[in-house]
Amino acid sequence: MVQMFGGLGHFGVYAYPECYKEPFPGFTRGDRELIPRLWYYDDEYHRDPEFDKMISGLLAKRRQVTTQKGG
């Protein structure tokens, strides 16, 4: 778990091992799975219904830069 706190916002990532079992029904691992078993969470997901679009844009931009660099 890596968390960032500041002011009113909180965000971070949770990494789960392959064999991880949910501790209870309805358990939420995070707001968005970035890669298998790595989940991002952000308070903005609960405040802004359009927030996922912003995250998608950041991920697409990162993929584009990585592709241009050959990695």
Span 27-69, pLDDT tens digits: 999 999 999 999 999 988 888 889 989 888 988 888 887 777 7
Tokens at 65, concatenated: 């830069």
Query: Would you say 42 and 31 are in contact if contact means Cβ atoms under 8 Å apart?
Result: yes
Query: Would you say 22 and 15 are in contact if contact means Cβ atoms under 8 Å apart?
Result: no
Type of residue numbered 30: G
pTM: 0.71
Range 15-31 average pLDDT: 94
Eight-class DSSP state of 25: T
Round to whole Å and give the CA distance between 68 and 71.
Answer: 8
What pLDDT is recorded for position 71?
59
Query: Would you say 11 and 41 are in contact if contact means Cβ atoms under 8 Å apart?
Result: yes
* pLDDT band at residue 14 under the 50/70/90 scheme: very high
What pLDDT is recorded for position 13?
95
